[in-house]
Amino acid sequence: MAATGKHFPGHGGVVADSHLETPTDTRSLEALWEHDLRPFKALMPSLQGIMPAHIVFPNIHSRAVGFSSYWLQDILRGELGFKGVIFSDDLSMKGADVAGGYRQKAEQALAAGCDMVLVCNNREGALIVADYLNSAVRLQTDSRRLGVMRARQHWSWAGLAASERRASVADQLARITVPR
């Protein structure tokens, strides 16, 4: 699978685990641009997918990121120019419960701009979302974006560990994440 950045716009200011609850981060958008958004901005040309966080930033927008068109359309697609696929984070996580039940979570994630919705750890929830998607008149996904997620080559773990590209990406990440 192609490279996917997560969890947009960053978990750097929260302690809460979104698997168990909905984290709240009270930092400003300026603070996020200075820290958490730097890796996303720097790596944007190399990312074919993005997964938003189940975090609420109440001083920026009232909705959790994965259910917010402000975050997904205005910031991610608009300001950062992301053209790839947006995957929801797992809708079975407790952090997603701010959006309601499984159908409501899927509706809101798609309406906000997610191209794909994931339900990874709840069979009943996955069936509810599948039923919703099968009955939806028109899905909002631009299917041309989905093709970029195909892996360009197959790797073994040993091949990946020895890859020059892996070493280059690790160096690039180290440069952009080290405080200046």
Count Cβ atoms below 10 Å from residue 177 Cβ, excluding itself.
12
The average pLDDT across 47-62 equals: 96
* Banded model confidence at residue 102, pLDDT cuts 50, 70, 90: very high
Tell whether omega for the bond before 45 is within 30 degrees of 0, i.e. cis. no
- What kind of fold does domain 4-152 have according to CATH? TIM Barrel (3.20.20)
Alpha carbon separation from 138 to 3, 61, 107, 132 (Å, rounded) = 27, 28, 12, 11
Which 3 state secondary structure label does DSSP give 93?
A: coil
Distances (CA, A) of 159 to 26, 46, 177, 179: 42, 20, 26, 31
Residue ranges of the domains in the chain? 4-152
> At residue 59, does pLDDT exceed 80?
yes
Q: Is the peptide bond before 11 cis (omega within 30 degrees of 0)?
A: no
pLDDT at 164: 86
Other Cβ atoms less than 10 A from the Cβ of 171: the count is 10
141 token code pair: 């996904």
Nearest to 24, CA basis, from 70, 59, 57:
57
How confident is the model over 28-57, as a mean pLDDT? 94
Residue 19 a catalytic site member: yes
User: What does pTM read for this prediction?
Assistant: 0.78
- Please compute the mean of the pLDDT values over residues 68-79 and round it to a whole number: 97
Percent of the chain past pLDDT 70, that is, above it, reads: 86
Distance CA 60, CA 72 (A): 13
Give yes or no for a contact between 67 and 105, defined as CB atoms under 8 angstroms apart. yes
- In the numeric block, which tokens belong to residue 108? 């809101």
What is the DSSP code string of 117-154?
A: EE--S-HHHHHHHHHHHHH-S-----HHHHGGGS-SS-
pLDDT in the model for residue 166: 82
Q: Please name the helix (run of DSSP H) or strand (run of DSSP E) that holds residue 8, with its range, or none.
A: strand 4-8
Q: Is the pLDDT of residue 93 over 70?
A: yes
Task: Give Cα 43 to chain centroid, integer Å.
Answer: 14
Out of 19, 61, 74, 97, the active site residue is: 19
| pLDDT at residue number 137 | 47
Catalytic residue among 25, 89, 90, 115: 89
What mean pLDDT is predicted for residues 78-92?
Answer: 95
